[in-house]
Chains A and B, each alone.
Chain A
Amino acid sequence: MAKIKLGKDKLDKLIEICKSFNNESSELINVLHQTQKNFGYIPAEVQEVIARELNVSVAHVYGVVTFYSFFTMVPKGEFPISVCMGTACYVRGSDKVLEEFIKQLKVPVGQLTEDGKFSISCLRCVGACGLAPVVTIGERTYGRVAVGDVADILKEYQG
């Protein structure tokens, strides 16, 4: 009998989310979306609760979480950077923009900078191909980003 520490607030919130979907196992993906919205990411202990509430195995929840690239088990940075790797952006050089972000922040894709400020991820087409290459940081979208712009963009957040 292992104990999983989560905290009452979080636990209650999770139970509430699951309940809002009638604890239906077929609503798992919606539950995960809501959870990530609330917690920012979906750590293991949270998946344990969801599994219990929806009456499915934890392995199943984990299988679903790892199948869909939208879900993450690691917290994102305060300013999550996403570089679009859709074709339109790629042919306009988004791979080089990504490399530049990695170089400047010294973290690989999917990880958090030491100060927890930034995380870099790749994104599939956001559908703003007219602005290629596209980078989003949090809610903000940057269009037509050139390698040379990267330092300036980061400066906006480093102050």
Chain B
Amino acid sequence: MAKVKSLTDLKKIKENFQMKMDLIAKCDAPDSMFQVKIAMATCGIASGAKEVMNYFIEECSKRGILALVTQTGCMGYCYAEPTIEVTLPGEEPIVFGDVDLKRANEIIEKYIKNGELVDGIIPVNYNTID
């Protein structure tokens, strides 16, 4: 790993990364990638987020779905853990709460495959600064 030696280097990393993500997010091709973020803070993990994350990784590959499954921190909805955020290509992200394996299956089958919403959507109730 090369060291970041200047602000320019830092910018390069930023741009490269954003480009990568943009490719995923903006592309609306049928075989493009889905993004699934799992809130993996203590609350989430205690409620089974790890199992849910593994489920997504395994099931997506089993079912031939190209998905980028990553972990992230607390989204703030402790009352509805585990929570996940799913972004379909070209769409705004949607947050689902109380995601157990059953609901995870539903999300893959209905939302990711068909774009149908499933129960347990969490309305995002905050603005995040850029």
A contact residues vs B (CB 8 Å cutoff): 126-131, 134, 141, 143
Secondary structure of the A contact surface, majority rule = loop
Give the A-binding residues of B (Cβ under 8 A): 42-43, 45-47, 77-79, 81
Report A61 CB to chain B, min CB distance, Å: 31
CA distance A129 to B46 in the complex (A): 11
Chain A to chain B contacts (Cβ below 8 Å), 11 pairs: A126-B42, A127-B42, A127-B43, A128-B78, A129-B78, A130-B79, A130-B81, A131-B46, A131-B47, A134-B46, A141-B46
Q: Report the tally of A-B residue pairs with Cβ distances under 8 A.
A: 24
* Contacts known (A130-B79, A131-B78, A131-B81); A143 close to B47, Cβ less than 8 A: yes
- A143 CA to B47 CA in the complex, in Å? 7
- Cβ–Cβ < 8 Å partners of B46 in chain A: 128, 131, 134, 141, 143
Q: How far is the CA of A16 from the CA of B16 in the complex (A)?
A: 45
In the complex, what distance in Å separates the CA atom of A30 from the CA atom of B75? 32
Q: How far is the CB of A154 from chain B (nearest CB, A)?
A: 19
Q: How far is the CB of A7 from chain B (nearest CB, A)?
A: 37
- Chain B residues with CB under 8 Å of A129's CB are 43, 78
CA distance A12 to B28 in the complex (A): 62
Q: What residues of chain A lie closer than 8 Å to B42, measured between beta carbons?
A: 126-128
Instruction: Give the nearest-CB partner of B79 in chain A.
Output: A130
- Looking at the assembled complex, report how far the CB atom of A43 sits from the nearest CB atom of chain B, in whole angstroms: 30
Residues of B within 8 Å of A141, CB to CB, are 45-46
A141 to B78, CA, bound (A): 15
The docked-state distance in angstroms from the alpha carbon of A143 to that of B80 is 12
A126 and B47 alpha carbons, distance in the complex (Å): 13
